[in-house]
Amino acid sequence: MSDATAGLPPDWQPSYRTCDDVSAICPVEASVYGDYFTLGACVFFLIAHFLLFVAQGYLAWRSRAWSFSIWLGIGTLFEVMGYGARIALSKNPWVYEAFVIQLLMLMLGPTLIAAAISITFKHLVLWYGTQWSFLRPKLYPWVFVGSDWISIVIQAAGGGVSATASSGGEAINPKLFDVGSGLLVAGVVFQLINMVFCGCLMLVYVWRRRQSIKKGLTPASDTRPEDKKVKVFIYAISVAYIAIIIRCIYRIPEMQMGWGSELMQNETTFLVLDGAMILIAVLTLTIFHPYFYFPFISKKGDKKSKTDEVGGDVTSGNTTTTDVEESGASETKVVQ
């Protein structure tokens, strides 16, 4: 190493600023991830997400569940782009552009997928009845998806700062790198807290509904009967939700321990706790798509629900015509 670095400045060190390929002075061990990515694993995740993305496009067109499908589709596309960049890094770990793309895409993708799940909460409340919800239906997109946007902005800012810290000039700016890492951690922590909070709100809703029905406080006409397909859909989004939470729990210490840490350089751990968890989430949301299990979420289903509720065929306890009209207007402006 000393012979290879002869003639270089004393403070010279390999980085994305000073290296563009693996060599004697730019060994793979000095890169952020400390090794080549496994090509087979990267190709597998890319193909899997791409096929699911194609399937989602077809299901979106058939179901007209645009809000859910757009969030899920963009999140899945980000996963495709992220693993495409990791394929490039599996051949040359010093490709700066590939490093930035995989960092941003694989950090932001799961947040967008979580937003797709959040979209369904409003529709589930409208389906079963609004009287057990702490929030009016029109507020669900603002609270649930709006908070997802905050997480996205924080993580995007962190990724941008980290990218700036490792580009151009002679050496990495450690202060900027720390700031970027801190923002990424903050973004994931916010996402985790947000998901747990939103999940708890829905659990409280379920508990209040069950208690009301169990105690005979709610007439059968004030809530929809249990639907097997809808129950399967709820189980599916629960699995996806938990998978994303597991991924967030892993990502926090990974980023907190710093760039090039032992945990960050453990590719197997990443593939299991990030790659596999997000693939499970995307696969579950695609296979158990609303088109098959919860068509109420679509524009057509939502219009039918409004007609039923206003006409009196299906009521929802304290849900009024005004509530339905307001939630419909909100969906058009905020979600759809």
The pLDDT confidence band at residue 220, using thresholds 50, 70 and 90, is low
Name the domain count of the chain.
1
Q: Is residue 50 part of a domain?
A: yes
* pLDDT at res. 282: 99
Cα 262 to chain centroid distance, Å, stands at 25
Q: In this structure, is residue 161 part of a structural domain?
A: yes
Q: Please give the pLDDT value at position 335.
A: 40
Does pLDDT of 223 surpass 70? Answer: no
Inform me whether the pLDDT recorded for 128 exceeds 50. yes
Residue 297 resides in a domain: yes
278 confidence band (pLDDT: 50, 70, 90): very high
Dump pLDDT digits (tens) for 143-158: 888 888 999 999 999 8
Rounded alpha-carbon distances, angstroms, from residue 202 to 71, 144, 275: 20, 11, 27
Note whether residue 17 is domain-resident: no
Nearest-angstrom CA–CA distance, 34 and 29: 4
pLDDT digits (tens, 9 = 90+) for 161-170: 877 766 544 4
- Token code pair at residue 200: 């708890």
More confident residue, 298 or 276: 276
* Contacts of residue 325, Cβ cutoff 8 Å, sequence gap at least 6: 306
How far apart, in whole angstroms, are the C-alpha atoms of residue 153 and residue 174? Answer: 22
Q: What is the average pLDDT value for the chain, to the nearest integer?
A: 84
| Inside any domain, residue 3 | no
User: According to the model, what pLDDT value does residue 134 have?
Assistant: 85
Domain coverage including residue 101: 33-335
* Residue 1 binned pLDDT confidence (cut-offs 50, 70, 90): very low
pTM, two decimals, is 0.84
Is the pLDDT confidence value at 302 over 90?
no
Question: Which CATH number covers residue 157?
Answer: 1.20.1070
Going by pLDDT thresholds of 50, 70 and 90, the confidence category of residue 326 is very low
5 in a domain, yes or no?
Answer: no
Choice between 89 and 148, residue whose per-residue pLDDT is larger: 89
Does residue 10 fall inside a structural domain?
A: no
Cα separation, 136 vs 73, whole angstroms: 27
Query: Is residue 60 in some structural domain?
Result: yes
Alpha carbon distance 188, 106 (integer Å): 12
Distance CA 5, CA 30 (A): 14
